[in-house]
Amino acid sequence: MALLAILAAGCTTTAPRASRAPVGAEMASAQVAHDDAADERFRAALQMMRTRPDTAREELLALSREYPSFSGPLTNLGILYASGRQRGDAVASFSQAVSANPNNAVALNWLGTLYRETGDFGRAEAAYLKALEVQPNYAAAHLNLAILYELALGRPQQALEHYRDYRDQADDPRLIVSAWIKELETKGVPSPATSVASAQMTP
């Protein structure tokens, strides 16, 4: 099943460290099933997500029940739940989406964000890493993992690596991320090559 990831809009102005928030993504499926009518319903639900979220939620819920083996409706349903602060329902929906399609990087990225918000940093890291395992160029997951490493786990070197990956892979990278990269570089965070060399020289 083809996936289309659209990076959600975020801040574009300088922000303090504490306000660095994870970014999400929306996913659309090229096809829900080999059923033109169902596919048309799914596309209509995607169009309604911003303007008529309640109607979209009802339709996505119906589709997820009728086509439980397809993760597109479940993922977008999770996005609506997350937007409505229904964290438990969002986690359940994204988890079902990943069960239906273990390579659903968007659902994994959202799970990482929800786990991070509740302080479950280990599961957040695992979800982001899995998203990048199945989609190595997924810019949103690189940015979220970088934020997690810097602010929650205190691993600035790994944060810097993923900030750089985000900058290099995002279609329209946030300018603020360049400032965060410079901030870490100014603090003297070693490059991976330097770290390896230092480790090799240590008795």
Same domain, 83 and 26: yes
pLDDT, one tens digit per residue, over 33-64 is 557 788 889 999 999 998 999 999 999 999 99
What is the pTM assigned to this prediction?
0.78
Domain boundary among 72, 98, 123: 123
- Do 59 and 44 touch, CB atoms closer than 8 A? yes
Same domain, 165 and 80: no
Same domain, 143 and 114: no
User: Range with the lowest mean pLDDT among 6-10, 21-25, 176-180?
Assistant: 6-10
pLDDT, one tens digit per residue, over 58-111 is 999 999 999 988 899 999 999 999 999 999 999 999 999 999 999 999 999 999
Angstrom distances, CA of residue 173 to CA of 34, 57, 143: 36, 30, 10
CATH code of 55's domain: 1.25.40.10
Same domain, 150 and 101: no
Same domain, 100 and 167: no
Same domain, 48 and 93: yes
**Is residue 6, in this structure, part of any structural domain at all?**
no
Same domain, 67 and 104: yes
pLDDT, one tens digit per residue, over 136-169 is 999 999 999 999 999 999 999 999 999 999 999 9
The domain of 142 spans 136-192
The two three-digit tokens of residue 134, written as one number? 């199945």
Same domain, 114 and 178: no
DSSP string, 29-40: ES-SSS-HHHHH
Rounded to whole angstroms, the Cα distance separating 91 from 39 reads 24
Same domain, 77 and 148: no
Close Cβ partners of 63 (under 8 Å, ≥ 6 residues apart): 32, 38, 41, 42, 45, 73
